[in-house]
Amino acid sequence: MLASGDEAQRSKIIDGIKKGCEKLNVPMVGGHLHPDAAPDSPSLSVAILGHAKKLLRSHLAGPGDDLIFAADLSGQVGCSSVTSWDANSGKTTEELLFRLETLPIIAEREWACACKDVSNAGLLGTLSIMMENSGQGALIHLDAIPCPAPLKLSQWLVSFQSFGFVLSARPEFSTRIIDLFNKRGIDAAVVGKVLDGHTVTVASGPESLKLFDFEKEKITGITCPAKSRCPNQNEN
Q: Inform me whether the pLDDT recorded for 233 exceeds 70.
A: no
Q: How many CB atoms lie within 10 A of CB 192?
A: 26
Mean pLDDT of 49-72: 96
Q: How far apart are CA 84 and CA 155, in angstroms?
A: 9
Question: What average pLDDT does the structure give for the chain?
Answer: 93
Is the pLDDT at 236 greater than 60? The verdict is no
Q: Mind listing the pLDDT tens digit for each residue in 167-209?
A: 999 999 999 999 999 999 999 999 999 999 999 999 999 999 9
Q: Measured between alpha carbons, how far is 206 from 95 in angstroms, rounded to an integer? A: 40
Q: Which whole-number Å values give the CA distances from 175 to 67, 127, 235, in the listed order? A: 12, 20, 13
Class of 66-213 in CATH: alpha beta
Distances (CA, A) of 60 to 71, 132, 201, 216: 21, 11, 19, 22
**82 has a pLDDT exceeding 90:** no
Distance (Å, rounded) from C-alpha 190 to C-alpha 200? 16
Average pLDDT for residues 101-123, to the nearest whole number?
96
Question: Is 232's pLDDT higher than 70?
Answer: no
* pLDDT score of 181: 98
What sign has the CA pseudo-torsion 176, 179, 183, 189? Answer: positive
Quickly state the pLDDT bin for 229 (edges 50, 70, 90): low
Domain boundaries, the chain: 2-44, 66-213
Residue 222: partners with Cβ closer than 8 Å, 6 or more residues away = 59, 132, 133
Of 92, 74, 90, the C-alpha closest to 163 is 74
Q: Does residue 127 contact residue 117 with C-beta atoms inside 8 Å?
A: no
pLDDT digits over 121-147, tens only? 999 999 999 999 999 999 999 999 999
Kind plus residue range of the DSSP H or E element containing 165: strand 164-169
**Model pLDDT, residue 234:** 47
pLDDT, tens only, 208-228: 999 999 999 999 999 987 665
